[in-house]
């Protein structure tokens, strides 16, 4: 028998222990006359056995991840969601609770008026009718307005000719914001000016655009669903690492042990950064009723659909898109060995490396133990470029210990913006600096021109190597001064092999082959390894830490 879903929830940010819906005792409240169901939406929902629009009692046992979202009263909430998780129902219930218990007025928007009509007819009105005792006096007559006393719940389409947004409210709820009129959404901000709460709750399946959903998500605390494996690792569910394509099962992204349905179901929300904006990201990976096999099948289909609706991620191929052929076209059965070895290492919990000659990549792989890197250093005696982030303790060790080892920092060259790659001098010897986005441009151009070949065996690791490249998108951004620039992002931050390749590329540049060093094709100063002095105390000033 499964354990009680409402008490086994992990230590999520807003986790609340809620008694099961049966035999809920009235909680004696320290607030005196205030009843628990007047202050706790979870208590209200469970005690009253709220029914869905289909007349079934709402069952959160497979959707424990919804409870925190339901009980979250942050002023700003953003939810980057996948399909099939019940987002609209959650925010409908929240809207009604706000209306009746908090005394708030709400504006609830959808992309178009047609969407609103369809939605209110098939979801909102049936919800009211199924739970009549909870919504006394709320009429289903009007599609666009529900009222309790003087409080209003407006339903509005953002694409509408009528100037309907002269109404004011305490909270604006924007359902499907990524498919809504973005200019109209901005105008809604003025609607809550008079309110003390001034709430703004937005949620949507993402699209291809860098829209408000994505922008606000990045400003938020970016909560992800973490699951604990049998070995005690707490890892967030993510594509593709959380699925084993061979065993067709979910797995711990760290130790690869299989994750059970129960382990996925009873995960917990954890912040991945600090912010006042409360952010949630849901994907099919955390839906216990969806199998790994189903997700793998979806992954082979239309990528835009897969990203937006299955992974709950934006899909943006950009104007310079990387396809499978990006690597496969440069694959060769020839021996690329020249006697010179270059090694690029991307650092994380798992280290990803690319080993090759100046002609291209011969071997790619992963390791977790640093001794494995020492073994490679002894065996191949390569020129090494290693990621100095997120923690440079170990990269320092390699720079100090080995002759041809460098640590990589990304930095813009403020004195000479044209220069995209340069070597640290004096007390910064052993560091290679580069402009992250521009050096990636150059590397990709370099590969597209077949200057880098691949001769690693066509196996799982090669497929994984390619999959990391496929997450890379070149997108247009605007800096604080309003100037547009292009930057490379990964759709899911699983880009380790792409960066390991970049470090290999930087290592190759130490030969002074001088493919590309600046926009003006300047050759870098030669490196004198005989007289290296690396002083780490002063090596890392704040500008190194991007």
* Interface contacts to Zn ion, rule CB under 5 A: 229, 231, 233, 252, 254-255
CB of 286 to Zn ion, least distance (A): 16
**Nearer to Zn ion by C-beta: 187 or 231?**
231
**Nearer to Zn ion by C-beta: 254 or 441?**
254
CB of 240 to Zn ion, least distance (A): 16
Residue showing tokens 């923690």: 391
Structure token pair of residue 91: 């925010």
CB of 469 to Zn ion, least distance (A): 26
CB of 259 to Zn ion, least distance (A): 8
Q: Which helix (H) or strand (E) holds 157?
A: strand 151-159
Q: Are 387 and 408 contacting, i.e. CB atoms less than 8 angstroms apart? A: yes
CB of 231 to Zn ion, least distance (A): 4
DSSP 450-488: TSSEE-S-SSHHHHHHHHHHHTEEEEEEE-TTS-EEEEE
Q: How far apart are CA 437 and CA 85, in angstroms?
A: 36
**Nearer to Zn ion by C-beta: 53 or 235?**
235
Chain-centroid distance of CA 404 in Å reads 35
CB of 260 to Zn ion, least distance (A): 12
Q: How far is CA 274 from CA 157, 216, 279, 445, in A?
A: 33, 13, 10, 37
Structure token pair of residue 170: 């305490």
**Nearer to Zn ion by C-beta: 221 or 235?**
235
Q: Which helix (H) or strand (E) holds 343?
A: strand 342-346
**Nearer to Zn ion by C-beta: 180 or 268?**
268
**Nearer to Zn ion by C-beta: 233 or 363?**
233
Residue whose CB is nearest to Zn ion in the complex, by number: 252
Question: Partners of 147 in the beta sheet?
Answer: 152
Structure token pair of residue 82: 């996948």
CB of 366 to Zn ion, least distance (A): 15
**Nearer to Zn ion by C-beta: 257 or 320?**
257
Q: How far apart are CA 122 and CA 444, in angstroms?
A: 49
CB of 253 to Zn ion, least distance (A): 8
What is the phi/psi pair of residue 234, to 5°?
Answer: -105, 110
**Nearer to Zn ion by C-beta: 250 or 505?**
250
Neighbours of 179 (CB within 10 A): 20
**Nearer to Zn ion by C-beta: 368 or 535?**
368
Q: Are 109 and 172 contacting, i.e. CB atoms less than 8 angstroms apart? A: yes
CB of 289 to Zn ion, least distance (A): 23
Neighbours of 343 (CB within 10 A): 25
**Nearer to Zn ion by C-beta: 165 or 252?**
252
CB of 369 to Zn ion, least distance (A): 16
The residues near 183 (Cβ < 8 Å, ≥ 6 apart) are none
DSSP 177-227: GGGS-HHHHHHGGGGGTT-SS-EEEEEE---SS--HHHHHHHHS--BEEEE
DSSP 364: E
Nearest CA-CA partner of 65 in 268, 309, 279: 268
Q: How far apart are CA 206 and CA 215, in angstroms?
A: 11
Q: Are 115 and 179 contacting, i.e. CB atoms less than 8 angstroms apart? A: no
CB of 67 to Zn ion, least distance (A): 25
**Nearer to Zn ion by C-beta: 21 or 251?**
251
């Amino acid at each position: 028998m499964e354990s009680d879903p409402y008490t086994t929830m992990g230590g999520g940010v807003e986790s609340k222990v809620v008694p099961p819906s049966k035999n809920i005792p009235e909680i004696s409240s320290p607030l005196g006359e205030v009843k628990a169901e007047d202050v706790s939406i979870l208590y209200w929902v469970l005690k009253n056995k709220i029914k869905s629009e289909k007349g079934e009692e709402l069952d959160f046992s497979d959707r424990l991840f919804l409870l925190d979202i339901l009980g979250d009263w942050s002023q700003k909430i953003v939810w980057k969601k996948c399909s099939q998780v019940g987002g609209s129902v959650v925010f409908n219930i929240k809207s009604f609770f706000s209306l009746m218990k908090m005394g708030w007025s709400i504006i609830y928007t959808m992309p178009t008026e047609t969407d609103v009509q369809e939605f209110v007819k098939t979801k909102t009105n049936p919800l009211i009718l199924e739970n009549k005792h909870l919504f006394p006096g709320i009429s289903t007559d009007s599609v666009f307005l529900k009222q309790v006393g003087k409080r209003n719940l407006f339903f509005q389409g953002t694409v509408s000719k009528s100037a309907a947004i002269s109404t004011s409210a305490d909270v604006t709820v924007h359902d499907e914001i990524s498919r809504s009129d973005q200019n109209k959404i901005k105008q809604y901000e003025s609607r809550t000016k008079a309110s003390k709460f001034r709430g703004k709750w937005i949620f949507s399946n993402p699209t291809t655009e860098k829209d408000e959903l994505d922008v606000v998500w990045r400003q938020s605390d970016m909560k992800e669903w973490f699951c604990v494996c049998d070995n005690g690792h707490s890892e967030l569910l993510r594509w593709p690492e959380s699925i084993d394509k061979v065993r067709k099962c979910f797995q711990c992204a760290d130790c690869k042990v299989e994750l059970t349905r129960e382990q996925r179901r009873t995960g917990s929300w954890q912040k991945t950064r600090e912010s006042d904006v409360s952010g949630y990201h849901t994907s099919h990976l955390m839906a216990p009723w969806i199998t790994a096999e189903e997700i793998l099948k979806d992954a082979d289909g239309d990528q835009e659909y897969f990203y937006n609706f299955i992974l709950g991620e934006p899909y943006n191929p950009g104007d310079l898109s990387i396809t499978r052929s990006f690597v496969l076209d440069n694959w060769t059965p020839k021996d690329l060995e020249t006697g010179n070895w270059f090694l690029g290492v991307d650092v994380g919990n798992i280290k990803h490396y690319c080993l090759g000659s100046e002609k291209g990549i011969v071997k790619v792989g992963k390791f977790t133990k640093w001794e494995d890197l020492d073994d490679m250093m002894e065996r191949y005696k390569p020129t090494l470029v290693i990621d100095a982030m997120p923690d440079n303790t170990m990269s320092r060790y390699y720079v100090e210990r080995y002759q041809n080892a460098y640590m990589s920092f990304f930095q813009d060259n403020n004195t000479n913006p044209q220069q995209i790659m340069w070597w640290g001098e004096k007390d910064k010897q052993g560091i290679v600096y580069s402009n992250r986005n521009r050096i990636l441009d150059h590397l990709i151009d370099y590969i597209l021109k077949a200057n880098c070949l691949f001769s690693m065996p066509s196996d799982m690791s090669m497929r994984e190597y390619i999959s990391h490249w496929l997450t890379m998108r070149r997108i247009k951004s605007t800096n604080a001064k309003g100037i547009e620039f292009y930057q490379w992002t990964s759709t899911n931050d699983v880009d380790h092999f792409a960066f390991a390749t970049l470090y290999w590329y930087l290592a190759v540049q130490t030969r002074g082959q001088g493919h590309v060093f600046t926009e003006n094709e300047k050759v870098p100063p030669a490196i004198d390894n005989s007289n290296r002095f690396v002083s780490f105390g002063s090596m890392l000033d704040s500008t190194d830490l991007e």
